[in-house]
Amino acid sequence: MLKNQPSNNESVKVPSMVKKANAAPFNETGATILDITSSPGASSSNEEDFIAGRQTVEDERFDAIIGELEDVLVSDEFAKFDATFCKSYASPFKGAKRTTAQSDAFAIWKEQVSDFLTPQVTATLSWFDMEEFLLSLKSHPQLEGDVFDFLATLVDFDAFKEKMAEHVQPTNQGLDFSDLLAIRPASRK
């Protein structure tokens, strides 16, 4: 044991002058306990805003829209819409070059998705405006996730092209022999 350190069963006498001067609490060994959570620089103002739940109206609206979009995008109705669109417009995306047909499909995609989503979101959020929302995405470039990957297909041709390329049916990848074999019951003579 070190000198001047009390054993477990000894109490520490701290002069009252020290207690008043430091005005900090002491633990049972007499060591000063510092409250570092209130120290300057202990947390940034962003953390304090997050902890206190202080969001701007724009942030709250953005979060509400994302929540509504997530609900719509996981619906069976949207899955059917998406599959039908991709099946109808996938063929121009077989080549690597950007074509007029691809650009046309992108324009149609943006219009049809907007027409599909807007009524469903405005049913809950009457103030929703798709064009305004898509513009607000530029101020949130760091966001990730499936809904943001989907939203990228509405504003970024390359993201849309990648999505459509996933739906292109490979041609001449192999021969289909599935209908060449016929099984019939043996007949008795």
8 A C-beta contact, residue 86 and residue 109: no
- The residue type of 56 is T
Summarised one tens digit per residue, pLDDT across range 113-158 is 999 999 999 999 999 999 999 888 877 777 788 898 999 999 999 9
Provide the pLDDT for residue 153: 93
Q: Give me the CATH topology for the region 57-165.
A: Adp-ribosylation factor-like protein 2-binding protein fold (1.20.1520)
For the chain, the domains span 57-165
Global pTM value = 0.59
Question: pLDDT grade, residue 71 (50/70/90)?
Answer: very high
What mean pLDDT do residues 56-67 have?
A: 90
- What count of residues does the chain have? 189
Tell me the pLDDT of the chain averaged across its residues: 75
Residue 23 has pLDDT above 90, yes or no: no
CA distance 109 to 86: 9
What digits encode the pLDDT tens for the residues 73-129?
999 999 999 999 999 998 888 877 888 999 999 999 999 999 999 999 999 999 999
| 3-state SS string for 125-180 | CCCCCHHHHHHHHHHCCCCCCHHHHHHHHHHCHHHHHHHHHCCCCCCCCCCCCCCC
